[in-house]
Amino acid sequence: MEQSNEVVLVTGGTRGIGRAIVGELTKAGKRVAFTWRSEEALAEEIEKENRGAVSAFHLDLCDRKRPRNLVEEIENTMGQIAGLVNNAGIERSELLALSSDETWDLVLDVNLGGTFRMSREVVRSMVRRRGGSVVNVASLSALHGVPGQSAYAASKAGVLALTRCLAREMGRFGIRVNAVVPGFVRTDMTANLSQEVVGQLRATECLPDGVATTDVAAVITFLLSNSAAGITGQAVPIDAGTSA
């Protein structure tokens, strides 16, 4: 992570937490590859803002073949991937009794399947070098039930289980795997929530200012760094004290 010729790959880097992660990593002097799915103009804007330090790559997490090609493309053009942040995801809010199979399958495929496929390709490269760090972005809904969030919560609970198992598998190769568990964060994904719902989600927070995207990005940057060399298999809450 600390070597200038190594790269951190962030999935879903154009908005919200992902964009904050890209910004925090570049401030820390890292070279960053980030992915976008539908917002090419925003991706180009971020590249221009961080010319030379940041490169954008297209990725649809439902595409089974793209992760392998993406990793090869980044390592051939930018350098070895020393860190992976599985941030990209989608959210669909539907009561379980009214949910369709299509909604359930899509959310699980993107959030959990995408994390699986990206991790599989990146750790294959890391194993050869005997080192690296993976950070998965989960959600507090994986630990606390939220009405209408069954598919999303199930996908994020799967991400936490995947994190622990992969940490056990990869530790002997010097590869660390952790997760962050954000509580309520104001992003585009939560912008459509009513003030009443936001109030309910924040009701058990201890800190009055809540959690900002930059708060999550700072913890992820730490977990990717050598300062966190003794930490693996952990799920770190960033929830303004909700889980206290």
- Domain range list for the chain: 7-237
Distance CA 211, CA 139 (A): 13
- Taking the C-alpha atoms of residue 115 and residue 155, their distance in angstroms, rounded to an integer, is 10
**pTM beyond 0.95:** no
Which candidate in 36, 57, 116, 152 is catalytic?
152
* Helix/strand/coil for 162: helix
- What's the confidence (pLDDT) of residue 194? 74
- Please give the pLDDT value at position 4: 55
- The confidence score (pLDDT) of residue 1 equals 44
Q: Which fold has domain 7-237?
A: Rossmann fold (3.40.50)
- For residues 2-17, b (16+ Cβ closer than 10 Å) or e, as one string? eeeebbbbbbbbbbbb
- Beta strands of 92-162 (E only): which ranges? 132-137
Q: Respond yes or no: is residue 152 known to be catalytic.
A: yes
Q: What is the amino acid identity at position 42?
A: L
Q: What pLDDT, in 10s, does the model give residues 88-98?
A: 999 998 999 99
Q: How far apart are CA 202 and CA 206, in angstroms?
A: 9
Q: By the 8 A CB rule, do 214 and 170 touch?
A: no
Describe the strand order of the beta sheet including 7-10 as a list of residue ranges. Answer: 54-58, 31-36, 7-10, 81-86, 132-137, 175-182, 235-238
Sign of the dihedral through C-alpha 85, 117, 148, 15:
positive
As averages over each run of 10 residues, the pLDDT of the chain (244 residues) reads 74 96 96 96 92 94 96 96 97 93 97 98 96 97 91 98 98 98 86 76 91 97 97 97 92
